[in-house]
Amino acid sequence: MASHGRRGGVPARDDEQRREERAEQQAPAPQGPVLPLPPLVDYGVFMQGLAQVPAQDHGGPSIMERFNRMTPPSFKGESDPLMAESWMRETEKIFRAIRCPDEDKVTLDTYMLQERADVWWSSLLRTRFEDGAVDVAWDAFVRLFRAKFVPEHIQDKMEQEFLSLTQGSMTVLEYEARFSELSKYAPHIVEDERRKTKKFVMGLKPSLRTRLVAFDHRTLDEALSASCR
């Protein structure tokens, strides 16, 4: 009987071992901590935010908006050269007020051209500048504008007035204003700052001129400041 019991015990141990192996195979693998899923992205809001970045970086009105707020005058190409000069002077005042860079001045100025003046500029762009493919420098535009709307004999007259200009009965500030207004007709003088300054000083009243000549001012601003003391 004892021998029969040993033979029957072996299968029992085999069954138990197989059950343990099956239990190990079926047991779930150990897992780490469960991480939360990332939040869903609203791509509509995301793209809208991207679109607003440039506006936030470059806040404020554009140069065209600032220009229009100053109510600039238009120019239709009137035959009176004084009207042409007056228009140019007014737009230059606006440019100084809004601190307009030179590279934007031609675009803004020509935006205000109408009728005959607008036809002239449009034709000039097509024939000389290939429809604006080449950027027109501000100085070049001013020369072209005056050549068209301020006749040469008027420019010659203004140049002679500048060359013979003296302070006379004007105040220093009145003299400087007239000097600056006429100086555009003598580019060969005003392009050299020291030469322009010397011309200004030599036109002052003798008492002021004598005092300023000794200091040899290098810029017009220096000479103007010294003459107003």
Q: What is the pLDDT of residues 13-35, one digit of tens each?
A: 566 666 666 655 555 554 544 44
pLDDT band at 70 (very low <50, low <70, confident <90, very high): very high
pLDDT at residue 202 is higher than 50: yes
- Token pair recorded at residue 13: 């141990």
Are 135 and 103 in contact, with CB atoms under 8 Å apart? yes
What does the buried/exposed string (b/e) look like for 46-66 if buried means 16 or more CB atoms within 10 Å of the residue's CB?
Answer: eeeeeeeeeeeeeeeeebeeb
Q: What is the pLDDT of residue 20?
A: 62
DSSP helix/strand/coil, 75? strand
Q: What is the pLDDT of residue 41?
A: 39
Overall pTM surpassing 0.75 (yes/no): no
What does the buried/exposed string (b/e) look like for 73-104 if buried means 16 or more CB atoms within 10 Å of the residue's CB?
Answer: eebebeeebebbbebbeebbebbeebebeeeb
pLDDT at residue 45 is higher than 70: no
CA distance 185 to 162: 8
- What percent of the chain shows pLDDT beyond 70? 72
pLDDT at residue 166 is higher than 70: yes
pLDDT band at 6 (very low <50, low <70, confident <90, very high): very low
Mean per-residue pLDDT, 67-78: 96
pLDDT at residue 105 is higher than 60: yes
